[in-house]
Amino acid sequence: MTEKKLLMGNEAIAFGAIEAGVQVVTGYPGTPSTEALETIARHAEKCGVYAEWSSNEKVALETAAGAAYSGAKALVTMKQVGLNVASDPLMSLTYIGVKGALVLLVADDPGPHSSQTEQDTRSFGHFANIPVLDPASPQEAYELTKLAFEISHQFEVPVILRTTTRVSHSSGDVELLNSEPSPVEAFCEGFTKDRRWTIFPRLTAERHPWLENVQVQLSDLFSELKYNSVSGSGKIGIMASGVSALYVKEAVKGFEELFTLFRVGTVYPFPEKAALSFLKGIEKLIVVEELDPYLEEQALQLIGRAHLPADVYGKKNGFFPVSGEYNVDIIIDCINKVLAELGETSRLSHSAPAIPRSGLPPLPVRAPTLCAGCMHRTVFYAFKQASKQLKKDFQVETIFSGDIGCYTLGNAHPLNMVDTCLCMGAGMSIAGGLSRANPGVKQVAFIGDSTFFHSGIPAVINAVYNGSDVTLAVLDNRTTAMTGHQTHPGIGVTVLGSPSKAVDISDVIRSCGVELVRSVDIDSLENSLEGCIEAAKEAVEFKGPSAVVFKGKCVGITKPVIRFEIDTESCTGCGLCVKQLGCPALFLPAGEEKPVIQESCSGCGLCAQVCPSGAILETGVKK
């Protein structure tokens, strides 16, 4: 007896994992994957599941692997760039395998909406010999999660469940076995000592043929599954996977007699027998997929080996975009290009919008910016003033290296305080490299608290060991803010809400050998800007590695108790507050000479501290 429930794709994955009997869940928050672990955490105590936010994806995978070695069913969650961090243990883990079950949820981000890259995890699975399942909807996400655990346990290999933003964050009715998660079985096998768990060259040589044979078995198995399905009987074939397959169904609505659609839900190992059965009789094949031409390459290889007389239209010959997120309109236009090439008179039509496009109001334009009252703005402004003083007193320029997090937005005008940004934890390392190539220039690296624990510590050690003249500014707002305020080792509470030992960032930095370490509590200073500037000046004038840990509250999770307003009589209209801070609560109305403070003010008071005429005043408790 099944029950329907409206679920986001990530929530459906969580329900599927619990129904599959998952016992250990680890991960690192990263959009669009985060909600899967958070959903499991909400039910963890009731269901007897252990869940944790790990310090990074590598640690998360290694922790899950240890559980899977012991017979547990484990899930690891991450986004596509997190797979880069986890790739080192994963490449070896494919040879070793597991005893229980190990599933990796890897959420890709075509677009990208909130990522550094548009990586395609299907290609990574192919590269690493790891099975990849590619759901197209929340319902399939739920079902394929359970299938992933079955395959992992049966074949003793890790399995990747690859989603994309539109699958992870879309919602739909999902048929569940249980609308409320039930307790999972406690695992009791335990770890058995065996040479299999120690990856030496001899073991690798023995296991590689086994691993390749598993790929053949899985390809045959996948060819029999319903997730690789054929619909329609038209003379033009279409091959698609993931959410692209749903876009195709919408695009060809009303023209189904022209096409035969092959939906691929188990993308690696490629279901060759099912694909070959589909391709026989198909002379024109359209391949629709976001990001890499993975299916297209698989189809071309199969067509070549089988000597089939089929022409392929996809990314490689310019009929579909090679990057970016797809939608129904893009696919309609691309299929119409193919139809024109084939001399077909039929053309797919766009559905008319409910409101004519000409009648739609323009969307408001809002550039990415730090929240009103964000402590990061105070720190950036403080370092800007300190660097100006450094240049004035010592004729020394400053380069500012950023990192991944909310504070990356410090690169925007008018702050302009992030000169480099590469990947998590790279700011300090890049600053060290810049210091070698730019002698006489001061290097400042910004990093967030969660990112510091994720991958910042090795860079601090490297700077100390090699004597880099770098200042590290840690922006500690007591949360993993960018991905939705998840916990981390510096907070003192786990994802399950239980208290834990809070790891002090200043102590960690001192233990790495940094001689000058200062801690500034922005919220407790009467004049936070002045205190931040003094700490910044001391750090940048220090020769060798130095660090300042700035502590404050994230305004995204704290309720303002005061706000500020502008005394129009005292205000001179200099515009300094608007021009230098870029706070979204400060606004200069069109045609006006004096700014106003909007209701979004969180009461940080930075604007009051920079106002040269003292015209910005506290108004009391905010209602």
d(CA 382, CA 388): 10
User: Sheet of 266-268: strands edge to edge?
Assistant: 50-53, 24-27, 73-79, 101-108, 159-164, 132-133, 266-268
Please report, rounded to a whole number, the percentage of residues in the chain having pLDDT higher than 90.
69
Q: Is 601 annotated as a binding residue?
A: yes
DSSP-assigned states of every residue in 502-514:
PPPHHHHHHHTT-
Q: Is 512 annotated as a binding residue?
A: no
d(CA 400, CA 444): 5
77-100 pLDDT tens trace: 999 999 999 999 999 999 989 999
Helix residue ranges per DSSP H, 156-259: 165-168, 201-223, 243-251
Residue 315 has pLDDT above 90, yes or no: yes
The residue type found at 184 is: V
Contact indicator for 325, 110 with CB cutoff of 8 Å: yes
Give mean pLDDT, residues 338-356: 79
d(CA 473, CA 550): 7
372: exposed, middle or buried (C-beta count within 10 Å: 0-12, 13-18, 19+)?
buried
Q: What is the pTM of this model?
A: 0.83
Q: Is 607 annotated as a binding residue?
A: yes
d(CA 182, CA 8): 19
- Residue 350, pLDDT score: 84
| CA-to-CA dists, residue 209 to 4, 123, 268, angstroms | 44, 21, 18
Residue 356 has pLDDT above 60, yes or no: no
Phi, psi of 47 (to 5 degrees): -95, -5
489-535 pLDDT tens trace: 888 899 988 899 999 999 999 999 999 999 999 887 666 899 999 99
Query: Which has the closest alpha carbon to 378: 522, 221, 534?
Result: 522
Q: Is 577 annotated as a binding residue?
A: yes
Query: Which has the closest alpha carbon to 549: 487, 463, 456?
Result: 456
d(CA 599, CA 97): 56
Beta bridge partners, 174, equal: 5
Residue 390 has pLDDT above 60, yes or no: yes
Domains and CATH numbers, the chain: 3-220 (3.40.50.970), 228-342 (3.40.50.920), 375-551 (3.40.50.970), 562-620 (3.30.70.20)
Contact indicator for 68, 99 with CB cutoff of 8 Å: yes
Cis previous bond, 158, omega within 30: no
- Residue 353, pLDDT score: 56
329 versus 366: the higher-pLDDT residue is 329
Report the Cα–Cα distance between both ends of the chain, in Å, rounded.
Answer: 50
**pLDDT, mean over the chain:** 91
Residue 380 has pLDDT above 70, yes or no: yes
DSSP type of residue 20: T
Q: Is 188 annotated as a binding residue?
A: no
123-133 pLDDT tens trace: 999 999 999 99
547-598 pLDDT tens trace: 999 999 898 888 777 889 999 999 999 999 999 999 999 989 988 889 999 9
Confidence tier at 622 by pLDDT (50, 70, 90): very low
Phi, psi of 304 (to 5 degrees): -65, -45
Contact indicator for 513, 461 with CB cutoff of 8 Å: yes
Q: Which residue has the tokens 């070896």?
A: 92
- Residue 131, pLDDT score: 96
Locate 555 and state its tokens. 């305004």
- Residue 169, pLDDT score: 94
Residue 341 has pLDDT above 90, yes or no: yes
- Residue 412, pLDDT score: 87
25-29, 202-206, 323-327, 449-453 — which is least confidently predicted? 202-206
d(CA 39, CA 34): 9
Give mean pLDDT, residues 263-288: 95
- Residue 65, pLDDT score: 93
Contact indicator for 269, 222 with CB cutoff of 8 Å: yes
146-155, 275-284, 524-533, 593-602 — which is least confidently predicted? 524-533
Contact indicator for 476, 505 with CB cutoff of 8 Å: yes
Confidence tier at 357 by pLDDT (50, 70, 90): low
44-58, 107-121, 349-363 — which is least confidently predicted? 349-363
Confidence tier at 623 by pLDDT (50, 70, 90): very low
Strands 50-53, 101-108: pairing kind: unpaired
215-271 pLDDT tens trace: 999 999 999 999 999 998 899 999 999 999 999 999 999 888 999 999 999 999 999
DSSP-assigned states of every residue in 469-525:
-EEEEEEE-SSBTTTT-B--TTTSB-TTS-B-PPPPHHHHHHHTT-SEEEEEEGGG-
Contact indicator for 482, 449 with CB cutoff of 8 Å: no
Q: Computed from CA positions of residues 109, 111, 112, 114, in that sequence, does the dihedral angle turn out positive or negative?
A: negative
